[in-house]
A and B are shown apart, each in its own frame.
Chain A
Amino acid sequence: MNANPVTTSPSASPNAAAPKAASPSGGVRLAPRRITLWTRLKHHPSALFGLFFIGALITIALFAPWVAPYDPSEQFTEGLTIEGRPLAPNAHFWLGTDLLGRDLLSRLIYGARISLLIGVVANGAALSIGTLLGATAGYFQGWIGIIFMRFTDLMMAFPALILAIALAAILRPSLWIVALVIAMVNWVWIARVIYTQVLSISRREFIDAARVIGVPTPRIFWRHLFPHLLPTLLVWGTLGISTTVMFEASLSFLGVGVRPPTPSWGGTINESQSYFLEAPWLVAFPGIGILVTSLAFNLVGDAMRDALDPTLRGQGP
């Protein structure tokens, strides 16, 4: 109610809370200690774990050829039983083999590249596009709002599946095309959610006050609006990793994305789903990979959000 726009905005970021000077006389410190992002994160052990995991994942993905025990595409004759069934985790193949006798661990290591790229980049792109459109529509309303949101409706109603099949036949399939298609298709959901939020937030008094004072619109977006959207973006950015990875698998299945035998986590799950009751490791391990990755991003994001959240400052972890 009496929220002062200046103090509740993150314009005064944690780093900027640095005191002008510590008292030179060595007496009682009056100004608070410099609270950095790192300080905040230190208090969140789970966030550290998340960071560590993501770092490890990126490293493994980058150095896959050195880390993976085998060639991910090599179909071993001894990788299948005599009747052609995949092998459960054993001494030779730590995570077992897939339906063609290939080492699952190696495939997951190489697959991390694709899944990280898709889960982070494609998802991020979709989020950015959606947020921009949704926030603009929600803030300005009027004609812009109508056109943007109806355009969103149109893209939502558009059959992405058929688009994917058409692209698969016309273009040379590649990961970038998949990322493009995902970004083109997935932005609509976040756009609607952000739109709703902005509708509500932009009616709040502090925004009105900022407008009255004469704060330029881009600044309102960044300083006043965006921080309140961060929690939503966090939810979508992290849960979205899982759905995006699986979406990539569907697109590759239709022929748009990675071509066999290139491995991806979602692809492995997709091709082994119906064998779940007989060879659960083929779904479990990539599934765990996807799960832990999105969790890791969530933990880090949660901590970052806490660090940047204006309303939480001074409240502790």
Chain B
Amino acid sequence: MRGKAMVVMLGLVLALLPAVTPTWGQGSGGTMIVTFKDDISTLDPAIGYDWQNWSIIKSISDGLMDYRPATTNLVPHLAESFKVSPDGRTYTFRLRRGVRFHTGREVVAGDVKYTLERVLNPKTQSPGAGFYGGIKGAKAFSEGKAGEVSGIKVADKYTVGITLDKPNAAFLHTMALNFSHVVPKEAVTKAGADFGHKPVGTGAFMVKEWRLGQRLVLVRNPNYFLRGRPFLDQITFQVGVEPNVAFLRLQRKEVDILGDGIPSADFVKVMGNRTLSPLVAVGDQLQTGYVTINTQVEPLNDVRIRRALNMAIDKSRIVRIINNRAVPANQVLPPLMPGYDKAYTGYPFDREQAKKLLAEAGYPSGFRTTLYANNTDPNPRIAQAIQQDLAAVGVKVELKTLAQSTVIEAGGTKGQAPLIWSGGMAWIADYPDPNNFYWPILSCDALAPGTWNWAWYCNRDVEKMVADADAMVQPGQAAARAAKFQEIYRKIMSDAPWIPVFNERRYTMHSARLGGAQGLFVDPIHIPVHYDEVRLIGK
């Protein structure tokens, strides 16, 4: 009798244990609610490229590499380890064993090859194809001249080797980009064009329900290969929610995260409120807001004029206009980026000096020009502030605040847009490497109709320096590479194709019941938060 009672007691205790013990470790539970204004477009890792679905995709699929949470440090992820060949051109990845797709099948090296070839295949229409163009044989494959990418070799079931045409120090970063996240061929073929709405990956979460225009519900993957992750049971994304209303909902404890951030109208109130400000995590972003100066348009082709414009802008006033949500910037790279030069002072705010330079260049009474900006708040306001600053030194600016697509088009058309305020379209780095701020938006290589190098800037010497820096592949060269980039960007600033204005900071407001290190809420790679890492307090 006593033995039986003991067993029953033990059974009861064991049964009740999960309810009473602090459940650190495996899936602790709860649902988190995130609001977004725009509809989520697609969850296909090869295609998704807006700042909304970027982090959601990171929770549904995985790449060979990833970043340690809340940092910009690369670590192997789906890969267990990797080796770089001495000439820096071949990377050999060894996959973890036992990682399974949501469908249950184990991930093998062939899946990696399939995924990368899918991205390079024109039929997929992947925006990220360009990142992998440096792989040997990629070009031939994309043009249809080859049936496969010769540079991607499956050595055995768990080993894959990738050979590049040239060494690229940022290559490992591209292996962390969403585009390279591994997907299973059979699921893609089965879903066809609907794969973006029925994604299959290896990630911490799976899609449970998706009602277009209303909500997306993710549910945790019980077989996720990282033990103990994710913490949440479920994440619900409510879409179509206006930021002002989302803010009201947060205060009523109906939502957990403001996906679009604190609405500008309430920002000052929140930061000044003793109950609300602790709910805001503050961090930096890999972002710079700048004005591009078209170096091919008169009279902006004169470097003295460009330097004068740099000295005419009162950046602290502009930062104040956006409620101090940013810090003034004096260089191309944002503070978090390796290669950022703390010692560099840039161009001072000096109207007299600016006027002197203008006179030197032959425009003592200034000149007329046009500034483009997109029409989403606060960009028209910032553009008007810039307009007033330039008027103070005699440069009369006509403002064109237009739909985003129109501004982007104007920027990419040769000789059309003299000045563009990049706000709303501003550069946020794809990956935390300084060359990401160069190749797409400042290089000679990028110059063609439709370019994003709106300054139409081309300096062959600088181009060579960047190519050299990119060849410094070995881990030991990291410090030297960062130093080289400091030199590169200093040289660029002396050419002044841009006016760097500010670096926006991140302010993520969340509900009181969310826990986890503050850094997770301003993770530089995962925006707005690292979905795999945050949890509800007490769970």
Contact = CB atoms under 8 A, between A and B. Distances in A.
> Do A and B touch directly, given a CB cutoff of 8 Å in the complex?
yes
Interface in A58-107: 73-75, 77, 80-85, 99-101
A274 interface: yes
Given A83-B324, A84-B323, A255 B381 contact: no
Interface string B376-412: 0110110111011000000000111111001000000
Contacts of B387: 260-261
B263 to A, nearest CB: 6
Given A75-B384, A255-B401, A278 B323 contact: no
Interface in B235-263: 243-244, 263
B474 interface: no
Contact of A84 (B269, B324, B375, B406): B324
A54 interface: no
Given A100-B384, A100-B385, A83 B323 contact: yes
A82 B320 contact: yes
B381 A99 contact: yes
Contacts of B269: 278
Contacts of B268: 81, 83-85
Interface in A263-317: 271, 274-279
Given A83-B324, A261-B387, A169 B263 contact: no
A277 B243 CA distance: 13
Contact of B406 (A85, A99, A255): A255
Contacts of A83: 268, 271-272, 320, 323-324
A160 interface: no
Contacts of A259: 398-401
Interface residues of B, number: 33
A83 B326 CA distance: 12
A259 B400 CA distance: 7
A260 B265 contact: no
B377 A165 contact: no
B459 interface: no
Nearest to B325: A84
Nearest to A278: B265
Interface string B480-495: 0000000000000000
A260 B403 CA distance: 14
Contact of B399 (A165, A261, A271): A261
Nearest to A275: B265
A75 B320 CA distance: 12
A82 B388 CA distance: 19
Given A83-B323, A84-B320, A260 B384 contact: yes
A168 B383 CA distance: 18
Nearest to B372: A255
A92 B223 CA distance: 66
B266 interface: yes
A184 interface: no
A169 B402 contact: yes
B507 to A, nearest CB: 13
Interface string A97-131: 00111000000000000000000000000000000
Interface in A145-186: 165, 168-169, 173
Contacts of A73: 388
A261 B400 contact: no
Given A85-B268, A260-B399, A278-B266, A271 B380 contact: yes
Interface in B340-361: none
Tell which of A74, A259, A260, A279 has the most Cβ of chain B within 10 Å. Answer: A260
A189 interface: no
A84 B377 contact: no
B406 A165 contact: yes
B388 A75 contact: yes
Contacts of A80: 320-321
B324 A255 contact: no
Contact of B377 (A77, A261, A274, A278): A274
A254 interface: yes
A253 interface: yes
A271 B381 CA distance: 9
B244 A274 contact: yes
Nearest to A101: B321
Nearest to B406: A169
A255 B380 contact: no
Nearest to B389: A75
A75 B322 contact: no
* 6 cross-chain pairs, A with B, having the tightest CB-CB distances, nearest first: A255-B402, A275-B265, A84-B323, A83-B268, A84-B320, A278-B265
18 contacts: A73-B388, A75-B384, A75-B385, A77-B317, A83-B268, A83-B271, A84-B268, A85-B268, A100-B381, A100-B385, A169-B406, A253-B401, A255-B402, A260-B380, A260-B383, A260-B401, A261-B384, A278-B265
Interface of A: 73-75, 77, 80-85, 99-101, 165, 168-169, 173, 253-255, 259-261, 271, 274-279
Given A83-B271, A255-B402, A274-B244, 18 more contacts: A75-B385, A83-B324, A84-B322, A84-B324, A99-B381, A100-B321, A101-B321, A168-B406, A254-B403, A259-B401, A260-B380, A260-B384, A261-B399, A274-B263, A276-B265, A277-B266, A278-B266, A278-B269
